[in-house]
Amino acid sequence: MLLSIYYMIKNLFFLSFLTCGIFTWAQNSFPQNIVIDDSYNAPSVSVVTHVDLDNDSRVDILAVDYRKIFWLRNVATQQNSFSPIQTIYTHTSDVLEVKSADLNYDGFKDIVFRTSTGIFMMTGSGNLGTFSAPIQLNSGTFTQFQILDIDSDGFLDIYFQSQSVAGWKKNSGNGTFPNTITIFTTATGGPSVAIFKDLDGDHKLDLVTKSGYYIRWYKNDGTGIFTLKEIVESNAIGEKIEMGDIDSDGDQDILFYNENGNTVQFRWYKNTNALGDFSPMAIISNAPASPNGFAYNVDRHGIKMMDIDLDGKEDIVYRVFWLNNVVWRKNLGNGTFGTDNIITNNAKGSRDFNFADFDNDGKPDVYSLSVIDSKISWYQNLGAGNFGSQKILTYGVNYINSISSGDLDGDGDIDILSTSNADNKMSWYRNTDGLGKFSDPQIVINNSTISPMYAQLLDADNDGDNDFVVKYQYEVNYVTYYRISLFKNDGSGNFTEQIIANDLPKDVVGLAVADIDNDGDSDLIAAYQESSLMKFVNNGSGNFSSPTSFFSIANKYPLSLKTLDMDNDGDFDVLATYNNKEIEWYENTDGLGNFSTNHVVVSQMHYPTDATIADVDGDGDVDVLFVNYFYNEAGWFQNNGNGTYTKKLVPGTVNHSRSIIAYDIDGDGLKDLVTNTFPQPKLRWYKNLGSGNLGTAQLVTNNIGRVRDFSIADYNGDGKLDFAAGSDIGEDGNETNMIAWFETGASYQNKISGKVRFDEDNNGCSPTDTGASMVMVKTQNAQHSYATFTDDLGAYSLVANQSQFATSVSSPLADYTVAPQSQVQSFTTLGETQNADFCLLPNSVFKNLEVSIYPLDVARPGFATAYKIVISNKGSQKVSGQIVYNFNNSKMNFVSATTPPDSQTTGNLYFNYTDLSPFHSKTIEVKFLMNTMPITNIGDVLEFNATAQVPQDISPANNTFVYKQNVVGSYDPNDIQVLEGPQILLSQKDDYLHYVIRFQNTGNYHAERVRVKSILDDQLDWSTLTLESYSHPNKAVITNSNNVEFIFDAIYLPGTHDEPNSHGYIAYKIKPKSNVVVGDVFTNSAEIFFDYNPAIVTNTVNTEIINQVLSTASASITEFKIYPNPTTGWVYIKSPEKIKKITVHNSIGQLVLQNENQSEIDFSHLPKGMYVVTIESGNKVHTSKVIRK
For 549-569, the three-class secondary structure string (H helix, E strand, C coil) is EEEECCCCCEEEEEEECCCCC
Residue 428 · residue 408 · CB < 8 Å: yes
Q: What confidence score (pLDDT) does residue 735 get?
A: 65
Q: What confidence score (pLDDT) does residue 622 get?
A: 96
**Closest among 670, 673, 693 to 684, alpha carbons compared:** 673
Report the C-alpha gap between 111 and 117 in whole angstroms: 17
Q: What confidence score (pLDDT) does residue 11 get?
A: 32
**How would you classify residue 627: left for phi > 0, otherwise alpha for psi between -120 and 50, otherwise beta?**
beta
Report the C-alpha gap between 984 and 993 in whole angstroms: 9
**Closest among 925, 943, 976, 934 to 1082, alpha carbons compared:** 976
Mean pLDDT of all residues belonging to the chain: 91
Interstrand relation of 623-628 and 633-639 (parallel, antiparallel or unpaired) = antiparallel
pLDDT class of 814 with cuts at 50, 70, 90: confident
Three state DSSP letters for 308-357: CCCCCCCEEEEEEHHHCEEEEEEEEECCEEEEEEEEECCCCCEEEEEEEC
B/e letters for 64-86, b = 16+ CB within 10 Å, e = fewer, are: bbeebbbbbbbeeeeeebbbbbe
Dihedral sign, Cα of residue 440, residue 445, residue 451, residue 457? negative
Question: What single-letter amino acid sits at 1022?
Answer: W
Interstrand relation of 1139-1145 and 1169-1177 (parallel, antiparallel or unpaired) = antiparallel
Alpha-carbon distances, residue 198 vs 159, 194, 217, 281, 356 (angstroms): 16, 13, 11, 20, 22
**Closest among 586, 638, 587, 632 to 608, alpha carbons compared:** 632
Question: What single-letter amino acid sits at 544?
Answer: F
Report the C-alpha gap between 710 and 725 in whole angstroms: 5
**Closest among 17, 11, 32 to 670, alpha carbons compared:** 11
Asked whether the predicted pLDDT for residue 7 surpasses 70, the reply is no
Q: What confidence score (pLDDT) does residue 29 get?
A: 59
Q: What confidence score (pLDDT) does residue 1029 get?
A: 93
pLDDT class of 3 with cuts at 50, 70, 90: very low
Q: Tell me: the pLDDT tens digits for 623-659?
A: 999 999 888 999 999 999 998 999 999 999 899 899 9
Across the range 411-419, mean pLDDT stands at: 96
CA angle at 409 for the pair 406 and 413, rounded to the nearest 5°: 50
User: Do you know the residue count of the chain?
Assistant: 1189
Please return the burial class of 145, using the count of CB atoms within 10 Å of its CB with bins 0-12, 13-18 and 19+: buried
Q: Tell me: the pLDDT tens digits for 902-933?
A: 999 999 999 999 999 999 999 999 999 999 98
Report the C-alpha gap between 303 and 301 in whole angstroms: 7
Report the C-alpha gap between 390 and 627 in whole angstroms: 43
Across the range 335-342, mean pLDDT stands at: 96
Q: Tell me: the pLDDT tens digits for 199-239?
A: 999 999 999 999 999 999 999 999 999 999 999 999 999 88
Report the C-alpha gap between 759 and 1057 in whole angstroms: 48
pLDDT class of 275 with cuts at 50, 70, 90: very high
Q: Is the pTM of this model over 0.85?
A: no
CA angle at 328 for the pair 324 and 332, rounded to the nearest 5°: 155
Q: Tell me: the pLDDT tens digits for 538-577?
A: 999 999 999 999 999 988 899 999 999 999 999 999 999 9
Compute how many other C-beta atoms are within 10 angstroms of the C-beta atom of residue 143.
17
Q: Tell me: the pLDDT tens digits for 1017-1069?
A: 999 999 999 999 999 999 999 999 999 999 999 999 999 889 999 999 999 99
Across the range 598-611, mean pLDDT stands at: 93
Q: What confidence score (pLDDT) does residue 841 get?
A: 95
Compute how many other C-beta atoms are within 10 angstroms of the C-beta atom of residue 753.
16
DSSP 1166-1181: SPSEEEEEEEEETTEE
The order of strands in the sheet holding 1160-1162 is: 1121-1123, 1130-1134, 1160-1162
Q: Which helix (H) or strand (E) holds 8?
A: helix 4-12
Determine phi and psi for 936, rounding to 5 degrees.
-110, 120
Q: Which helix (H) or strand (E) holds 931?
A: none
Own/partner pairs, 631-635, CB within 8 angstroms, 24+ separation: 631/605, 631/606, 631/607, 632/656, 632/657, 633/657, 634/660, 634/673, 634/675, 634/677, 634/686, 635/694
Question: What single-letter amino acid sits at 882?
Answer: Q
CA angle at 332 for the pair 330 and 337, rounded to the nearest 5°: 55
**Closest among 712, 689, 668 to 830, alpha carbons compared:** 668
Residue 436 · residue 447 · CB < 8 Å: no
Alpha-carbon distances, residue 1050 vs 314, 466, 716, 1005, 1054 (angstroms): 52, 19, 6, 14, 12
Asked whether the predicted pLDDT for residue 707 surpasses 70, the reply is yes
Report the C-alpha gap between 1175 and 1186 in whole angstroms: 12
Interstrand relation of 960-966 and 495-504 (parallel, antiparallel or unpaired) = unpaired
Across the range 1128-1154, mean pLDDT stands at: 84
In the 8-state DSSP scheme, what is residue 745?
Answer: G
Q: Which domains does the chain have, with CATH numbers?
A: 293-395 (2.40.10), 749-842 (2.60.40.10), 845-971 (2.60.40.10), 1117-1188 (2.60.40.3080)
**Closest among 671, 353, 402 to 513, alpha carbons compared:** 402
**Helix, strand or coil for residue 114?**
strand
pLDDT class of 734 with cuts at 50, 70, 90: low
